[in-house]
């Protein structure tokens, strides 16, 4: 069974391992640790299946906007609705905190993530050219109005 809960500092090892597995330019364990402890704007969640952490996601709540930072799911657990569950938890939390909108950047070529976000109400609103320094790929800025 899939459960989504707030992340705690003890989850850091597992979150950092998933981050490394899923991204070509992963956030360092130290940066993720700061997110879980010192960053008052940060809200992070982990997804568990049978007690094992299989994915995580986070956002920054800045004034009345939620900036989604990362969503990642370990490759053995993909296409089971884990990312959708994490994203919905983030958006529910943002609404409870009275955010009016959520936004994120995604690589233009990341079709699976783009579809995930589009399915959950995000629409493309702009491009940040050459945003990703490893490949010079553009970032698509996506936006979701929260009711």
- Supply the residues annotated as catalytic: 105, 117
Interface region with ligand COA, contact rule CB under 6 A, candidates 33-41, 64-72, 94-102, 134-142:
64-72
Least Å distance between CB 85 and ligand COA? 7
* Residue selected from 26, 29, 33, 78 as contacting ligand COA according to rule CB under 6 A: 78
* Residue selected from 106, 139, 142, 144 as contacting ligand COA according to rule CB under 6 A: 106
Nearer to ligand COA, 12 or 19 (CB): 19
**Three-state SS sequence of the chain:** CEEEEECCHHHHHHHHHHHHHHCCCCCCHHHHHHHHHCCCCEEEEEEEECCEEEEEEEEEEECCEEEEEEEEECHHHCCCCHHHHHHHHHHHHHHHCCCCEEEEEEECCCHHHHHHHHHCCCEEEEEEEEEECCCCEEEEEEEEECC
Residue 83 in the binding site for ligand COA (CB under 6 A): yes
Residue 67 in the binding site for ligand COA (CB under 6 A): no
* Residue selected from 7, 16, 66, 72 as contacting ligand COA according to rule CB under 6 A: 72
Cα–Cα nearest to 88, from 45, 35, 39: 45
Which residues make up the interface to ligand COA (CB under 6 A)?
Answer: 22-23, 70-73, 78-84, 106, 110, 112-113, 115-116, 119
């Amino acid at each position: 069974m899939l459960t989504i809960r707030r992340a705690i500092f003890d989850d850091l090892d597992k979150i950092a391992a998933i981050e490394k597995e899923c991204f070509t330019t992963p956030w360092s364990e130290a940066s993720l640790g700061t997110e879980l402890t010192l960053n008052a704007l940060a809200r992070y969640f982990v997804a568990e299946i049978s007690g094992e952490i299989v994915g995580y996601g986070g956002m920054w709540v800045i004034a009345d906007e939620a900036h989604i930072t990362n969503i990642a799911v370990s490759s053995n657990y993909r296409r089971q609705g884990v990312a959708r569950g994490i994203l919905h938890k983030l958006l529910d939390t943002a609404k409870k905190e009275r955010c009016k909108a959520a936004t994120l950047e995604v690589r233009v070529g990341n079709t699976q993530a783009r579809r995930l976000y589009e399915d959950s109400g995000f629409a493309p609103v702009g491009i940040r050219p050459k945003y990703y320094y490893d490949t010079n790929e553009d970032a698509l800025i996506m936006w979701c109005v929260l009711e």
